[in-house]
Amino acid sequence: MPALDLARWQFAVTTVYHFLFVPLTIGLAFLVAGMQTAWVRTGAARWLRLTRFYGKLFLINIAMGVVTGIVQEFQFGMNWSAYSRFVGDVFGAPLAIEALLAFFLESTFIGLWIFGWDRLPRRVHLATIWLVAIGTALSTYVILAANSWMQHPVGYRYNPARGRAELTDFWAVLTNKVTLVAFPHTLAGCFLTAGALVLAVALWHLLRRPGPALPAAGGGLPAVADDRLAYRAAARLGAWTTVLSGVALAVTGDLSGKVMTEVQPMKMAAAEALYHTAQPASFSVFTIGSLDGSRELYALTVPRLLSFLGTGDLGGRVQGIDDLQAQYAATYGPGSYTPAIPVTYWSFRLMITLGILAGLIALWALWGLRGGRTPSSRWLLRTALVLPVLPLAGNGVGWVFTEMGRQPWLVFGQLRTAAGVSPGVSAASVLTSFVVFTLLYGALAVVEARLLLRSARAGLPDESTPDDPAADEPAAAFAY
């Protein structure tokens, strides 16, 4: 395999892997901050216990996000040096600002949060987790601005003498219309992921021992009852978060579709495998047959839906792949401008399906939790176990769609992927790093998942443990 393909595979594997941890981190940062706020405001011990419990899951997860994130930044220079030279003037600034503005904030205040429980006044300590959460959101915005520039370059001009794109309007880069829709969409995906995890873990604890607490016998009862109250509160928080972010995903996804149709019509056509321009255009829920457009054995279609998704008008015109290919060939010269259609077609559908499923399960859980009830369905328990995986996979395929739909461009209309790879790095070197990262990431996924499950299963920390009089560093117990 040539260095180009290996570098692409490596980028795909390391990025999708990195993005398993990122959304959970971002969403959980806000939810844990919310739980801690509830404790500070109400003084209810169960919110503190929930903060500690989900805080631990958050920390296990953020560690993976942090360490796999460095790879992302180095990889541009290591594997894509030609790309880096071409875009650095535009793309570098958001990256540097992300580090300066967001990463310092996150990393410094996460340290203060972990170790500061007994060192900082209660409200100052609460502020640290909020600053972490704000840092993650800032980071999301800036990095999406960088990515959106690759989808829809704005605020730059091409400098032929240097053979590169140069920044002319940073504000335009920050307010790129793709960024403006991608940011809320991605953030909603983060909340969906975190909400689903919070809900699933709480449901598991609630349903594993169904029925009301045992009749009063010994001192165990109040603790058990309080545990159930806490898990109920977490389940409701998680379910509402999941449902609301599901709705937000649908709305922002719809907005994204319209922007995409406008600035990257080929991506929209590839999402539907729409070969011939259609007015109105229907949306196929799924297709059995070949995707090259020649044979279609069976397709379940919703008339006019694609027109609506793409243009906001039930009778809108959506351009087809063949027409766009001809247009691009005329503009950019001969060559293929069509992405890998099976990948874009199915990843688009899978993304939507997984999001909808997560939202429906959360609705089911909310129904079970209504009016002080505790659900007891074994089916809900079984479903809860797969629930956290759905948004994780949904985020991944969503990015696969976004990036594969951009191909063959690295920067749309400006730089092809094939032209971005490092010319001086041999295929053997890239193969080495690809194998190393894949094996390492695989092993670490097992370690992380086991630790996460172990910590989730352990349940709420015991709040009745008296403070050890010999203790100088109670915080160390939480962290190290």
Partner 1 sequence: MITTWFVLIAGLWTGYFILEGFDFGVGVLLPVLGRDERERQVLLTTIGPVWDGNEVWVITAAGATFAAFPDWYAGLFSAFYLPLLAILVALILRGLALEYRGKRPDPPWRRRWDRAIVAGSLVPALGWGLVFADLAHGLPLSTGHEYRAGPLGLLTLAGILGGLALLGLCATHGALFLALKTTGAPRVRAAALAARVGWPTTGLTVALLVALVDARSGRAAVATVVLAVLVVVVALALTGALLANRAGREGWAFAGTALGIAATVATVFAALYPEVLPATNLPVGLTVSGAAASPYALKIMSWAAALFAPLVLLYQGWTYWVFRRRIGVSGARLAERPSGTPGAAGTLGGSAQLAELRELRLHLRELAA
Among 185, 331, 187, 173, which Cα is nearest to 265's? 331
Question: How far apart are alpha carbons 437 and 195 in whole angstroms?
Answer: 29
Nearer to partner 1, 288 or 447 (CB): 447
Q: Rule CB under 8 A: which of 116-145 touch partner 1?
A: 116-122
Alpha-carbon gap, residue 222 to 234, rounded angstroms = 18
Number of residues that bind partner 1 (CB under 8 A): 98
Shortest Å, Cβ 230 to partner 1: 14
Write the CB contacts of 19 (distance below 8 Å, at least 6 apart in sequence): 395, 396, 399
CB of 119 to partner 1, least distance (A): 6
> Please, which residues have CB within 8 angstroms of residue 210's CB and are 6 or more apart in sequence?
376
**Cα–Cα distance for residue pair 433/427, rounded to 1 Å:** 10
Using CB under 8 A, which of 29, 112, 321, 384 touches partner 1? 112
CB of 45 to partner 1, least distance (A): 7
* Residue from 16, 127, 137, 170 in contact with partner 1 (CB under 8 A): 170
Identify whether the C-beta of residue 140 lies closer than 8 Å to the C-beta of residue 183. yes
Say how many C-beta atoms besides its own lie within 10 A of residue 342's C-beta: 13
Choose, by CB under 8 A, the member of 240, 332, 412, 478 that binds partner 1.
478
The residue range among 71-79, 207-215, 321-329, 357-365 that interacts with partner 1, by the rule CB under 8 A, is 71-79
Please state, in angstroms and rounded to a whole number, the distance separating the CA atoms of residues 290 and 294. 7
Is the CB of 387 or the CB of 430 nearer to partner 1? 430
Looking at 4, 37, 81, 374, which residue binds partner 1 (CB under 8 A)? Answer: 81
Site for partner 1 in 51-70 (CB under 8 A): 52-53, 56, 59-60, 63-64, 66-70
CA distance 424 to 193: 40
- Tell me how long the chain is: 480
* Closest distance of CB 362 from partner 1, Å: 26
Round to whole Å and give the CA distance between 286 and 299.
6
The answer to the question of residue 183 lying near partner 1 (CB under 8 A) is: no
Q: Which amino acid is present at 48?
A: L
* Residue 349 within binding range of partner 1, rule CB under 8 A: no
Q: In terms of CB distance, is 64 or 180 closer to partner 1?
A: 64
Does position 333 bind partner 1 by CB under 8 A?
A: no
Interaction residues for partner 1, span 444-463 (CB under 8 A): 444, 447, 451, 454-455, 458, 461-463
Q: How far apart are CA 148 and CA 177, in angstroms?
A: 8
Among 2, 42, 111, 251, binds partner 1 (CB under 8 A): 111
Q: Which of 32, 90, 263, 274 binds partner 1 (CB under 8 A)?
A: 90
Count of C-beta atoms within a 10 Å radius of residue 410: 21
Residue whose CB is less far from partner 1, 2 or 315: 2
Residues between 398 and 427 with contacts to partner 1, criterion CB under 8 A: 422-426
Residues in 16-45 that interact with partner 1 by CB under 8 A? 45
3-state class (DSSP) for residue 107: helix
CA 240, CA 234: separation in Å to the nearest integer?
Answer: 10
Q: Which of 323, 429, 438, 445 binds partner 1 (CB under 8 A)?
A: 429
Q: Alpha-carbon distance 354 to 336, whole Å?
A: 31
